[in-house]
Structure 1
Amino acid sequence: MNLTVREALDIFPLSEGRLVAGVGGLTRVIKSLNLMDAPDFWEWIKPGEMLLSTAFVVKDSPNDFLKLLQKLNERGSAALGIKLGRYWTQIPRIVLEEADRLQFPLIELPFEFAFSDQINALFKEQFVRNTKNLHNVLDMQKKLMHFAMQTGDQTNYFQVISDILAHPIVVVGIRGEILYNTSDWTAAGLLQDWPWPPNSKQVRAQHGGDWVYRIPLIKNGECYGFLLVLLKDALEPQEEGPFHQAAVMLSYHLETFQEQQPSVANYRLGTAIERYLLRQTSTADVLEEAQAIGDQIWTGSYLCVLTTFKPEIKNSPHIHKKLSEIRREIKFDPGLSSTESHHLFVNNDLFSLFTFPDKEKKSGTFVELVARGYSKMLSTINEHAARCFVSKTKYSIEELLNGYEECLEAKRISERLSFDSSVILFSDLEFTYLLRHIPREVMKRYCEYILHNLMQKDEEYSGELLRTLEVYFANKGQINDTAKQLFIHRNTVLYRLEKISSLLNIDLRKTDDLLQIKLVLMFQRLMRMEHHGSDQQLGDHFASEMF
């Protein structure tokens, strides 16, 4: 039996009774039940046993009743149930006060029900629970076996095992490093009494009301770490099987996991960034974790690259496998593997850091090298659903989160503008990014000022000229391409451009005039985006530079 006193009091007919003292002991666990009214019967009381009695042996003296209570508490009894009416009409006050002091549950049993009724009800409840637990155990074992039989690269098996066990788990390496943690416990709380003896002894330790079931991860006679399973209640022997089965699987895969992961520090940094984005940790905490991945990357320049997938793929159970494949390709790519790199899993994306090689003097050259490498790599593995976003050059550890945010901003802008490129540089979109922060009223007044004469014309006529101008810029000033896209003759394009120049008093051959018109078109696009929403498909990539 494994019921707390509180749970037992909710089971009929014991629920008809009344807890009269010892409310502080409601969490005591009832392991067994006993009936006894013989003298000195407490000598046979076992820890966790709940005693049901008529109080016959103490009927003549409240002091004897008091001693009985104290003896039961010393023996580790779970509770005492007294049926009043035959030998006692009420429990003495000194007994109630002592039960409260000892936090020992004292229960007035319902007189109209026999002891057997209450015992049978409690055993029936325990039988139902045991049956349910047995089914849960069998279900977990089936899931673990099915998972173990799967082939392929299981890069997320820690998470899968945690989901199967339906409890928070922690995997601790042999040096005391936290390899995986789904609990909210601190490292100090988890590693209490570290180092632990590296043997096959299972330890069940209680911390702050919770239980931790600790199993060493043994492979070929060598301990590779420990599996900690965090529990709210004490574990029944029949429930231990899946945890040991999971430990065997982890022991087998732990070495593989350590090979797949760039480093424990990288894993912790990725988790810290995730928590930072959820506002659960501070910048200082992220930088502290970043410091652990090595000094070399922070002594010079580096790039941030975010590799992500479309939502339907990003939320699939195979996303970690895809990201691991990309990380593996990066390591084997002749260009990308020539420099030190670190790869973090952040929010189902791959966030990579590349240090500048000593021979690279120009940051632009290295950025182009990384961009070409990613583009070639994605083409080689035929991964069309992936997109890579590259930050500007960063120069210190303090710029890490700024680099990550630049990658996210490049992603947002490219999605709003429907860019098709597999690799997008934030530096290419920075102009657009800056313009977005100009107030709408300022953009509107500027457009009205530059386009005033054109807007005085017929709406259809002015719209036709503006459309010609947009396509002309989108095609980087190529007359033939502009005509082809508009389905008109090239001479018509030239005529329209001449009319625009005349109306606006500009010369499209001059850089200053080109920039003015470029800003006008970009402002109009940005205002249109704001009006129609981020999901509006804009078509033309107006951020393309013409000069």
Structure 2
Amino acid sequence: MGLTMKEIVDLSVLEKAKLLTPKAFLEGQTVEWISVIETPVENFVKQNEFVLSTGVGCKEDPRCLEQYARDVIESGASAIGFATGRHIFTVPDTIIEECRRNNIALLEIPWEVRFGDIMQEVLQAISEEKREDQRFVEGIRQDMINCVLNGEGLEEITSLVYEHTSIPVAISDDERVVRSNHHFDSQMIDILNRKKEGNYRSVPFTQTSYLEHHYPIEKYEFEQGECYQLTILSNHKKQGYLLFERIDRPFTWSDMTILEHAVTACALFFVKENAIEMTEIRLKDNFLLDLAKKGAEQDEELREKGRLLGYDLEKPYTCIIGDVQFSKNVDAHIESKDSKVASSSMHSRNYYVQTEIQHAADQIGRERMTTFDDGKVIVFLEADEHSYMETTHQFLDLVERRLNELLAGITVSWGISFHGDGIGVFNESYKEASTALSFGFRQEEAGFRMFFTDTKVNRLLLSISKNKEVTSLVERTLKDLIAYDEKRQADLLHTFMVYNKYNSNVSQTARAMNLHRQSLLHRLRNIERLTGLSLLDADDFFLLELSVRMWMLTREG
């Protein structure tokens, strides 16, 4: 692409010009601009420029003219045209030889041919060629966009880039996993990704500034060559990278513009891919929430919908509901750890929990279905009736170990149920797991695992508590004790619960509560005094334990 010197020499305005260098040079030189430059050259000449000169500043000094030609050549010009007949009568052989050595086209132009006419025709030809280039590149841009819109992918984009530029190119996602490669040196990618040993350095990219405003280019130098990297962005979020290699010619405007369009098409592809992924996630979430909460009858239509989403509803599952509590510094840790995670705090937390649940299920070779609801994680884990407790503990051990390694200060409480009817009873097991979680919070500190089968006594007590006579008895038994706790902050109820937990062992209770033995005995005497019950009498102790447990269950019920 671009206007060549051969096309310029063929213009009518230059029919009287004489070519002093081989014709082969004309095909290889691209012209992007034309100008009239006299000595000194300094930095007035751009790369790929056709330079015209009368030699007026060097007419009596051949060495000055030779230096002028060398300066123009070193500036990256495509061709030189000297007007002969007044200041220069013959172009020196030394200049012709210098142009030959550097593959620069050299023209001798009769004095009567006006530079203004030459510039007008050349600029018009350049302008028309640029319009043609723009139409050509625009067609490639549309082809790339169509690839994405028609369901094709990154392979088609890299193929179009290579077909029209011959530049080896590769595309990776934001985790540097290569998604498409068209003749790009894989060793360079492996070295960049630290999968292979090798030295490289990052250097400024100065070849062209076409893309520097919108798409900064990073240049890497390796022992085996060079490559360049463009970052693929969408809504200021990094989506991936486009890598391209150095080639044996300067990058042209069309090269760089095609690469720019490839970056845009890749961004569209990743946005579309993310949108599809998010839609799938929403469909899965809604499906699982309906399965858990609405108790839809499991017919063939429901099972088929599950299969389309990647779920096998015919397997037996245990339901696990987790309440995840984070310390205040966890969110900051999440943001600094992984910029991929969205800025939403809840989204970030769920991302990590979901990742570790998937990892743990894979480790033990079990199917799992996961969703989130109202700050809680809901997991249906493949299990069987005879060993579901062992499977659940193994699974949760892995989840908690990984989460604690990644996010210090996290606490997870679990409610668990495997419904007795076995396969397909999702709503019942969800309700039972919710009940187990609720009872756990009523009688345990955060960080527990409560199975529904462990809540039999509590469910019985909760049922009994609906009896008015029983409620009245509990209130009379604990009235003074509760009032004393509220007034003095004495924590006597908690003291009794710990004392009961350690089977009335004073020494163990004192150690657990970090109390002196005499302080604990003083509290126990206060409990007896305020309730009128003896902790040494079995019936009194049973009544007090029953009242305390019932009060603990119903106060938050």
Normalising TM by the smaller chain, what interval? 0.3 to 0.5
| TM-score of the pair, normalised by structure 2 | 0.39
